A and B are shown apart, each in its own frame.
Chain A
Amino acid sequence: MRTVYLISYDITCPKRYRQIYKSMKGHGEPMQYSVFRCELSDMELQQLKDALWPVLNLDEDRVMIVDLGPIEGRGDDCIEFWGEPIVAVQPRTATII
């Protein structure tokens, strides 16, 4: 089952920044600039690492991955958010449009 992660990053080069942002969009929802909330299984977290790793230059860039626990558990309760979030969290259901 999935866990909620808070992932933030500092990327010095604009080109790498755009690449990382794009990869991150595939794994979670942006909450603030350079801060994503990602619901990921162990495997999906590994896939995220696989996606970011080749792009990053760890001499200059930084990534922080915070484990907030299982979705059903502490999950989001430990986030207090002020102001308008960029996107709202969707519940887990089939998407029907």
Chain B
Amino acid sequence: MISRAEPTPPENGTSSSPNANSPLAANVGIDGLIPVRMLNEYSYCPRLAYLEFVQGEWAENLETLEGTFGHRNVDKPDRKQIPARSKSNSKAAKSEETEEEGPTSIHARSLTLSSEQEGLIAKLDLLEIEGETITPVDYKRGKVPDLPEGAYEPERVQICAQGLILRDNGYHCTEGVIYYIASKRRVVIPFDDELIARTRELVRLFRETAISEICPPPLEDSPKCNRCSLVGICLPDETNLLIDQQQLTHERSQLPVKPDGLRKLLPARQNALPLYVQHQGAFVGKSGDRITIKLKGEELSSVRLLDISQVCVFGNVMFSAQAIQQLTNRGISICHLTYGGWFHSMTSGLLHKNIELRIRQYQTAAQANEALQISRQFIAGKIKNCRTLLRRHLSEKEHPVLRQLNEYHRRALRAESAETLLGLEGMAAKEYFAAFFTLLPDQPEFDVDGRNRRPPRDPVNAVLSFLYSLLTKELTVALQSTGFDPMLGFLHRPRYGRPSLALDLAEEFRPLIADSVALTVFNNQEVSPDSFLHKAGAVTMTDAGRKSVIAAYERRLDTEITHPIFGYKVSYRRILEVQSRLLARHLLGELAEYPSFLTR
């Protein structure tokens, strides 16, 4: 009868006609099939289905994990069976006289079927086969909802789509069953004309949406977002707020109004944090679900994989294949820096599936005007944040540099070309650093002669260069996990081995994160003259010195501040990620402007 469909197609549908005119439309081209799981998502929220299907986004949350846990009975046939239809639901069986006649019922579990005609493909949890009739059964976590239809639309549509596929494969199929794991109850969903029409309509709408290459807007203040696993990627309330504000400012050309605080859908802090290894010759391995760091066979430390957000290594550190595999599988990047702190490469899993974003990124970079519009935001944001840092620390509140930076900020917003913009940036930086260096402790060992690098010639510049390198690394990770190509920037021109886009986005964060950490470590004496080595005019940090600087940098990223636009508390670490996502939203046309991050 029914055999396992082989081979199992990939989750995101099958491959497609080679000559579809767009690489994205190809996903849902004439012969591309839509997984019925996506119909469920589309009915829940069109944006969710688009993000998952077209942009290849995926994130787990408690709901999706519990869903998988609930399926353990399905995937393991030897575990407890769900009650068979004849025992538990006599109402459903009322019209079927054959049912009581003997052991004719067969269960087939977990198989994949598709229908060209309906344009659908499904993984079916369970089929109950009785004579000529087949009934698909879908497992759902949770309880039976209190609804006249017996189940929410997304679930009904999903089971109906399974039924349509079965019918197209020649089976007799008139209803489906949803089994609610928490209530241990079966709900029968008859495939009436209305449901079938709705299902087919949703297939058509979803296909249109996917081909249109326009991401549906976020839901407005919907309780669905609270339970949505993609909320941290979608940023529904944040996006809606920015769209409104940008429309307002365009119409009335005045400053946006600050809201009283948005619903807080993002956690303020992440649980997982970076792991840094700077011991030369250390070995990073895996034992169970932990990462172990050993030196000459002796264990220096071991960390749960679930506590690691990224691994950063300096110089010669070795990795076992298992460690690399586990880390990359979990989406944890390994950042490689030279012993001196120069960020040069990154080991990570496959590239993000969001091709749409990368195509837009390349197109935008090729268009001088669009690239300039974004670059202005980076530089204007940077100058503004430089000014804020000085305003907070300078004792003289009327210091002329503050007025100067205001002026540069204004001019940067209007710069007519990338050259002008870079020129303004250079002039602003010169004045800013002159004032910045006066904020450092008055110690001859820490004297600076202006900003210098490659190699830095004094401790302050060594610390600054190192912090910029860490910040670039942070943003490279964030941009890549958003789906960008970190190597192609809008302001910084691509140069071999430089993640230009990360350097672009780093501009507005340099004063807020790197410069402010430099002030902290010198003024709080977290580094001392002993933390530095002088060699042939160049200055480097000792292991201990570098450790103090990394610790201060990580503390800064963990600092929670009130978001100036969204009004809720959030860590800098999260802000970096959110800015990267907002940049993506701008490139994909959702936001008219990229809003740089400014503090007050």
Contacts and interface: CB of A to CB of B under 8 A. Distances in A.
B289 A92 contact: no
B550 A96 contact: yes
Interface in A36-81: 41-44, 46-47, 49-51, 53-54
A95 B273 contact: yes
A1 B307 CA distance: 13
A16 to B, nearest CB: 15
25 contacts: A1-B267, A1-B269, A2-B271, A23-B288, A25-B289, A26-B289, A27-B289, A27-B304, A27-B306, A43-B60, A44-B271, A44-B306, A47-B306, A50-B65, A50-B68, A54-B72, A92-B271, A92-B273, A93-B551, A94-B273, A94-B550, A95-B274, A95-B275, A96-B551, A97-B279
B301 interface: yes
A22 interface: yes
A89 to B, nearest CB: 13
Contacts of B303: 95
Nearest to A87: B302
A94 B275 contact: yes
A22 B304 CA distance: 11
A95 B301 contact: yes
Contacts of B554: 93-94, 96
Interface in B546-564: 547, 550-551, 554-555
Contacts of A50: 65, 68-69
Contacts of B66: 46
A47 B65 contact: yes
B201 to A, nearest CB: 35
Nearest to B550: A96
A50 B289 CA distance: 13
B337 interface: no
B277 A97 contact: yes
Interface string A14-35: 0000000011011110000000
Q: 9 tightest CB-CB pairs across the interface, nearest first? A: A26-B289, A94-B554, A22-B288, A46-B65, A96-B276, A94-B273, A95-B275, A94-B274, A25-B288
A74 B46 CA distance: 42
Contacts of B301: 95, 97
B521 to A, nearest CB: 14
A94 B271 CA distance: 10
Given A22-B288, A43-B65, A50-B69, 4 more contacts: A25-B290, A92-B273, A94-B554, A96-B550
A43 B72 CA distance: 17
Given A93-B554, A97-B277, A97-B300, A43 B289 contact: no
Contacts of A41: 271
Contact of B304 (A26, A49, A54): A26
B278 interface: yes
B1 interface: no
A23 B72 CA distance: 18
A54 to B, nearest CB: 8
Nearest to B554: A94
B69 A46 contact: yes
A23 B271 CA distance: 19
- For chain A, the bracket of interface size reads 20 to 34
Interface residues of B, number: 37
A96 B533 CA distance: 20
Contact of B276 (A1, A47, A94): A94
Contacts of A93: 273, 551, 554-555
Interface of B: 60-62, 65-66, 68-69, 72, 76, 267, 269, 271, 273-279, 282, 287-290, 293, 300-301, 303-307, 547, 550-551, 554-555
Nearest to A45: B62
B173 to A, nearest CB: 32
B154 to A, nearest CB: 22
Contacts of B278: 96-97
B297 to A, nearest CB: 16
Contacts of A97: 275-279, 282, 293, 300-301
Contacts of B551: 93-94, 96
A13 B555 CA distance: 45
Nearest to B553: A94
A66 B276 CA distance: 33
Given A43-B65, A46-B69, A26 B288 contact: yes
Nearest to A51: B289
A64 B547 CA distance: 40
Q: Which of A47, A51, A95 has the most CB of B within 10 A?
A: A95
A94 B290 CA distance: 15
Contacts of A54: 72, 76
| Chain A CB within 10 A, most for which of B271, B277, B550 | B271
A27 to B, nearest CB: 7
B562 to A, nearest CB: 18
Given A23-B289, A25-B289, A46-B69, A95 B276 contact: yes
Contacts of B65: 43, 46-47, 50
Contacts of B304: 26-28
A43 B267 CA distance: 13
Contacts of A94: 273-276, 550-551, 554
B573 to A, nearest CB: 10
Contacts of B307: 95
Given A50-B65, A95-B303, A26 B290 contact: yes
B277 A49 contact: no
Contacts of B289: 22-23, 25-27, 51
A53 to B, nearest CB: 6
A53 B550 contact: no
A51 to B, nearest CB: 8
Contacts of B305: 26
